[in-house]
A and B are shown apart, each in its own frame.
Chain A
């Protein structure tokens, strides 16, 4: 085949700027071949190079006692003691899911699983933070049901339980859903495997599915805005094969526990290109591969296509020669061929041969270290200053709070997600102690007393109102959620979903949200162990709500500390920890029921948040608390309703709000740093005294009683009716 001539049009169609192209020529000292141009274009795409986000990501706190592996590897790793560690990461599959919901989501699951098991960790849980457009629009329903089925079919088949996740519906996500997937793996510390090819002479071994033309330029596709033309990108979406996913999972873990490999990386975004040059780059070595050895499922694949294909379920391992027979034995047990593509070398070059010709010869490390880095212009968006402002004087509202509560419970965003999580196998592996539907999922760590709690959170609306506060709020909420399950928040991973970063107001949202996340992580002592940036989440020029999703890992030292949402026994005292509310800004009351965006963003006092969280953890560990629920979407009213609905036997409560408050604001405000707890009457005074000592506001709201949620002077609703509203929405 004749090689195309490198023209400026060709360079541009690869998403490379003239300056970037010049840099490529500098690195090579010559004009690139077409294959090399392809390699640079994917490695320098936003998706792989983080060129517009790197500078801000460096501001994250990434160190901490529990951090074994921070950002830069396939996933982060946190220590949970007794030789065990948790490997976790979150990724986005937004663009593929927008054009092909089922496969887009399914391959998202496949990809994040591979990031975890290549580190030597067995995946033990999946979480899916999902943001869909308004469900009244048929296209959004098609996307939502397709995505959920895609997640279910892949996750269920590979046998990794989907235990949590949050689901929002908002017009802002019309046509550009956010499909974030988080995977959590468990490993012995000594099994930690890094994707680093250090030793010259080691073999480069390919196993898994054969390579086809699917997914070429998937990473580039993920780095541009969605438009009407995006439909044409359908071929850039790959097709998942969960059975192969399961086989390579088992094979990879077997290879690692038998110490048969030096390093492993999956061929995910940017395929063979990314895995080979990153492993060599990290290890300071070179790598030599012969593309004729790559198993191929289409005929006449060019070198360019072979290097850029994103066919799924393919792995690249670095194998010492003396372990090659062991690798072959393990692969053949699972009926997988072992294909040796080449060797690790000592000259630092990535050399690619195809049909007897050298088609690429690039200094491996430079592809990453010399990747462009930008500092985009940032400008405070005008909308922030022209938001409709909440005015308590225009209150009280006309509707009855009873009707508001029932309406809120029935909204797709607040209502029960049972219809979603019953499609996911959330029990396989026998670790799920607290199932989906709670504030956080709780999994046991077999053979120990320990449990982990997992939650994902982000209220994109709050981030829209004030990116810095909203970013911090996402961390604080995720931390409160694992705390409410009885866990100490340990560390986070994040998935930063934003619009086009070359637009100054979008970049402002990104920059401020990152700073806000950093603020909260420093004070709450939950370092960032890794994550993912997804830009260009725009549909027809309109960006989605800035949505930096936080995935939180919490540790529970003893089974007795596990705490759940539902009220437990009649007579128990219901207490609100945290301040009373002053605003309905940013609430679902306005957004979902009134279709209005009302600011300003409620303030978050991180010092007060930290005091609240420390006190809550101590109270749980002391055994004073019988249930705990974070106040978030829908406010205190919804939180109390959930405490009733999620109790065994549908316990009610008699609540009397303190005098002097505007009930509607207190009930439906979504101000942060508030938690509803219940306790036995004998612990009431202790909690109130100790809270006061710690400077944590605590208000007795009432007690668990009967089978209705009664709000003195306002309403009394049977819990069965609350539940009916709560479970009324499904797709």
Chain B
């Protein structure tokens, strides 16, 4: 069976790096490389994962320093070739700081870190990351700064271009203010770029890829990527 070559970037302070490696390599059986942030060569990886964590401690602004890591030049070049990148949690924050995705992630409305499962609605199947998912997914969030923000013009763009991929919703898939855990604008939990090859999302799909951990909704996101490349699952 054809496999996809994934590369998981490790910044100092990343802490979901090995979780992503575990799911891609051990659960999904894909070839998975660990890419140290000082490298400039992505070693022909087809899909790059920027994992969650606290790169450089996130003391300044989340992701603000990681975007200057040497590997980010290679990631930017990779994006330009149209190949997929997925940024999860801190990875999403880094992608915004690097300008590979629009908008920013600010502190949660409660000003507290929140770790709990949430429901998200898949707003578009027209991405390499969601062509194999259900309509409503249950995935955990774990962040202090996941409150997505963008100016009105940017929001309009996101909507016009069908770039909003996930919205926080209730168990039935209704997007309501009560189901918004962090105050994100328009309940936005994940977006893609205009070219649709870069996904940033706050919930953690790697934490929901094995039944023993409570579900496999997250696995479907990775399987979508594999399906896009191979036509197989």
> Contact residues of A with B, CB < 8 Å?
149, 152-153, 156-159, 241-244, 246-247, 333-335, 421-430, 432-433, 444, 446, 559
Contacts and interface: CB of A to CB of B under 8 A. Distances in A.
B115 A423 contact: yes
B77 to A, nearest CB: 24
B19 A428 contact: yes
A433 B15 contact: no
A336 B168 CA distance: 41
Contact of A246 (B15, B36, B112): B15
Nearest to A159: B15
A254 B19 CA distance: 18
Contact of B213 (A153, A422, A432): A432
B206 A246 contact: no
Given A156-B142, A425-B115, A428-B207, 12 more contacts: A156-B144, A159-B15, A159-B16, A241-B57, A422-B116, A423-B114, A428-B19, A430-B23, A430-B210, A430-B213, A433-B213, A444-B212
A314 B112 CA distance: 29
The CB with the most chain A CB atoms within 10 A, among B15, B18, B213, is that of B15
A156 B108 CA distance: 15
Given A429-B19, A430-B19, A444-B212, A243 B12 contact: yes
Contacts of A333: 36
B207 A246 contact: no
Contacts of A241: 57
Contacts of B16: 159, 428
Contacts of B210: 430
Contacts of A246: 12-13, 15, 54, 57
B213 to A, nearest CB: 6
In the A-B complex, list the 9 residue pairs whose CB atoms are closest, starting with the nearest.
A159-B15, A243-B57, A157-B54, A425-B142, A430-B19, A425-B115, A423-B113, A422-B116, A152-B113
B1 to A, nearest CB: 23
Nearest to A242: B57
Given A156-B142, A159-B16, A243-B12, A446 B113 contact: no
**Interface residue range, chain B:** 20 to 34
B140 A243 contact: no
A69 B28 CA distance: 38
Interface in B15-47: 15-16, 18-19, 22-23, 36
A243 B54 contact: yes
Nearest to A245: B57
A433 B212 contact: yes
Interface in B96-120: 112-116
Contacts of A157: 13, 15, 54, 57-58
A150 to B, nearest CB: 12
A157 B113 CA distance: 11
Interface in B106-140: 112-116, 140
Contacts of B206: 430
Nearest to A446: B22
Contacts of B18: 429
9 contacts: A157-B15, A157-B58, A243-B56, A247-B12, A333-B36, A422-B116, A427-B140, A428-B207, A433-B213
B115 A422 contact: yes
Contact of A430 (B12, B22, B36): B22
B53 A424 contact: no
B53 A159 contact: yes
B142 A153 contact: no
